[in-house]
């Protein structure tokens, strides 16, 4: 058959018309099924700037409501309307600077800790509007005494997008004047300090610290009973007696969640996400942006996901999407019908303590589910909070705890030399440098427009065995006592 020029042209024309219609229909459908989720999304122009000068954009955004530095604090007792806009009702300034405490005087330390818990002063409320909406985030940082790490964490927080809208709670188990000065110099968001009241610092020689009449770790049970040491009847499953310094972290962890959800006036009515960090974590500039997207897709589809995790321990994490969202989107982007979308993958899987314990966020609904399992958590013979939560997940929560996790992490661990590994390379500078270059190399994947669930893994591990260190019934009782009201007596409740 001869190829007729006019037939070719006609065919080309009709093909063009058909393609044109298809693309327009898809564009129409696309725009109506993917509304821009405006407010929390960085616009293209901003992203371009971001890739050039990460800090200036974020700083500029955050400075919108920011003023110049001041050391003003606001007394929570004077704060109106806990659920709505948090403001200083009396609009009065409270100048209350930290007076150095004699760090060798336990009584003075205990008094100062109780006073701070009682006052619930919020710093920087005069500079930043604190408005609790369902999308607000409360960040709780568990702090012991590693100031150098804490400074890196605070620096990374100060450079994060939208940080001025968050409430930062610093949960201490150690009081030092230097730490206090660091915390009180925070100028990028509202801050509250809380103190774990049973720390070894104030109870060094009596439970929960190490009582001289407590049984030594390695003594045999018969021998212990013979010498009648305090906890002779309660060694752990491996026959060892408690070590106070290892017990504190689990207590503090459980205390602080209870305290934030159920005690602190400011947050006990709060319904949004509570993000748990530790002093040796480090955040990416878009961690709040990413978290709010995670919450959105969780709320839309996966109500059964209890924990949103921003960190991973992957040595080589994957940023950017692993798959396109289908041919249509690809073609549209190819033909310039749509701006390429910045996608980012998340997975949904069973929560595994060793993989998903860093940068965990949960809301009140899930806290209430976990709190119902307090007996299981507090009596499980393991001194690790995360392993205990794993046990809760597999024995006390129907279907187990599920997690949604960012494939490209937004929270990192810089404290290589933790409680358990002393003496390794402890220089956080090198680690922070490494994280910064990794983030810079992946900057086109930061501030994703949208998240896509790449894998849903349904499997359930068997329940874990305890590692011991938590056989003492005094620890069980102290841990369970955190469910009762803890706050030092206060007239207005
Ligand atoms: C905060 O307010 C309470 C109740 O009004 C008051 O007892 C307390 O002394 C105040 N604290 C400060 C630091 O002003
Ligand atoms: C320790 O602090 C308390 C409370 O401030 C004070 O009454 C006491 O005199 C102090 N003791 C010493 C030895 O300084």
Task: Please count the other Cβ atoms lying within 10 Å of the Cβ belonging to residue 342.
Answer: 19
Ligand 2 centroid distance, CA of 106 (Å): 8
Ligand 1 centroid distance, CA of 77 (Å): 7
pLDDT tens per residue, range 95-147: 455 678 999 999 999 999 998 998 888 888 878 878 888 889 999 999 999 99
Ligand 1 centroid distance, CA of 165 (Å): 25
According to the annotation, is 67 in a ligand binding site? no
pLDDT tens per residue, range 143-189: 999 999 999 999 999 999 999 999 999 999 999 999 999 998 899 99
pTM of the predicted structure, to 2 decimals: 0.79
The atom number, within ligand 1, closest to the CA of 94 reads: 14
Distances (CA, A) of 461 to 312, 401, 440: 19, 11, 36
Ligand nearest, relative to CA of residue 122: 1
Measured distance CA(208)–CA(126) in Å, rounded = 39
Measured distance CA(88)–CA(172) in Å, rounded = 25
Is 104's C-beta closer than 6 angstroms to any atom of ligand 2? no
CATH class of 44-481: alpha beta
Q: At what angle do helices 364-371 and 244-262 cross, to 10 degrees?
A: 130
According to the annotation, is 142 in a ligand binding site? yes
Whose Cα sits closest to atom 12 in ligand 2? Answer: 105
Measured distance CA(99)–CA(214) in Å, rounded = 36
Ligand 2 centroid distance, CA of 103 (Å): 11
Tokens of 324: 């396109």
pLDDT, one tens digit for every residue, the chain (493 residues): 556 767 767 777 777 766 666 555 554 444 433 333 333 334 433 433 343 444 554 555 444 433 332 334 454 544 443 334 454 444 444 445 567 899 999 999 999 999 899 888 888 887 887 888 888 999 999 999 999 999 999 999 999 999 999 999 999 999 999 999 999 889 999 999 999 999 999 999 999 999 999 999 999 999 999 999 999 999 999 999 999 999 999 999 999 999 999 999 889 889 899 999 999 999 999 999 999 999 999 998 866 899 999 999 888 888 877 765 556 666 666 676 666 677 889 999 999 999 999 999 999 999 999 999 999 999 999 999 999 999 999 999 999 999 999 999 999 999 875 545 555 556 788 889 999 999 999 988 899 988 988 888 888 788 899 999 999 999 999 999 999 865 554 433 3
- Which letter, b or e, does each residue of 45-66 get, where b requires 16 or more Cβ atoms within 10 Å of its Cβ? eebeebeeebeebbeebbeeeb
Q: To test ligand 2's pocket by mutation, which of 100, 101, 102, 112 has the most ligand atoms within 8 angstroms of CB?
A: 102
Strand ranges, E, within 247-369:
273-278, 281-283, 307-309, 343-350, 360-362
Measured distance CA(269)–CA(466) in Å, rounded = 34
The atom number, within ligand 1, closest to the CA of 96 reads: 13
* For residue 260, cis peptide bond before it (omega within 30 degrees of 0): no
Q: Report the pocket of ligand 1 as residue ranges, CB < 6 Å.
A: 75, 77, 94, 96, 119
According to the annotation, is 92 in a ligand binding site? no
According to the annotation, is 252 in a ligand binding site? yes
């Amino acid at each position: 058959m001869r190829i007729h020029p006019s037939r070719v042209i006609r065919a080309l024309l009709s093909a063009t018309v058909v393609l044109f219609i298809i693309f327009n229909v898809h564009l129409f459908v696309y725009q109506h099924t993917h509304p821009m989720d405006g407010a929390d999304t960085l616009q293209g122009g901003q992203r371009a700037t971001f890739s050039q000068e990460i800090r200036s954009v974020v700083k500029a955004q955050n400075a919108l409501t920011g003023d110049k530095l001041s050391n003003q604090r606001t007394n929570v007792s004077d704060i109106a309307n806990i659920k709505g806009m948090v403001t200083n009702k009396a609009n009065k300034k409270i100048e209350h600077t930290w007076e150095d405490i004699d760090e060798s005087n336990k009584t003075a330390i205990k008094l100062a800790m109780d006073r701070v818990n009682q006052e619930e002063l919020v710093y920087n409320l005069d500079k930043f509007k604190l408005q609790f909406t369902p999308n607000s985030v409360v960040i709780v940082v568990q702090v012991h005494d590693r100031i150098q790490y804490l400074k890196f964490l605070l620096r990374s927080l100060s450079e994060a997008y939208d940080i001025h809208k968050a409430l930062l709670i610093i949960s201490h188990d150690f009081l030092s004047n230097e730490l206090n000065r660091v915390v009180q110099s925070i100028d990028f968001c509202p801050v509250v300090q809380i103190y774990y009241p049973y720390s070894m610092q104030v109870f060094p020689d009596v439970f929960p610290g190490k009582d001289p009449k407590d049984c030594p770790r390695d003594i045999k049970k018969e021998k212990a009973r013979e010498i009648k040491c305090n906890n002779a009847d309660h060694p752990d499953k491996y026959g060892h007696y408690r070590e106070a310094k290892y017990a504190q972290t689990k207590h503090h962890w459980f205390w602080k969640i209870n305290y934030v959800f159920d005690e602190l006036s400011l947050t006990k009515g709060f319904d949004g996400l509570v993000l748990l960090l530790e002093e040796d974590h480090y955040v990416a500039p878009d961690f709040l942006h990413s978290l709010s997207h995670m919450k959105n897709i969780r709320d839309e589809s996966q109500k059964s996901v209890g924990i949103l995790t921003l960190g991973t321990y992957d040595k080589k994490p994957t940023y950017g999407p692993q798959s396109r969202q289908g041919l249509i989107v690809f073609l549209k982007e190819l033909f310039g019908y749509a701006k390429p979308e910045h996608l980012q993958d998340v997975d949904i899987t069973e929560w595994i303590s060793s993989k998903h314990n860093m940068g965990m966020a949960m809301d009140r609904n899930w806290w209430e589910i976990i709190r119902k399992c307090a007996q299981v958590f507090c009596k499980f013979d393991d001194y690790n909070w995360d392993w205990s939560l794993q046990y809760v997940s597999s024995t006390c929560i129907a279907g187990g705890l599920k997690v949604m996790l960012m494939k490209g992490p937004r929270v990192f661990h810089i404290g290589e030399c933790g409680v358990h590994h002393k003496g390794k390379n402890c220089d956080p500078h090198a680690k922070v440098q490494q994280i910064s270059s990794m983030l810079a190399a992946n900057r086109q994947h930061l501030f994703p427009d949208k998240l896509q669930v790449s894998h849903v893994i349904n499997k359930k591990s068997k329940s874990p065995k305890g590692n011991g260190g938590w056989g003492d019934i005094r620890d069980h009782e102290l841990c369970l006592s955190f469910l009762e009201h803890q706050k030092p007596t206060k007239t207005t409740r």
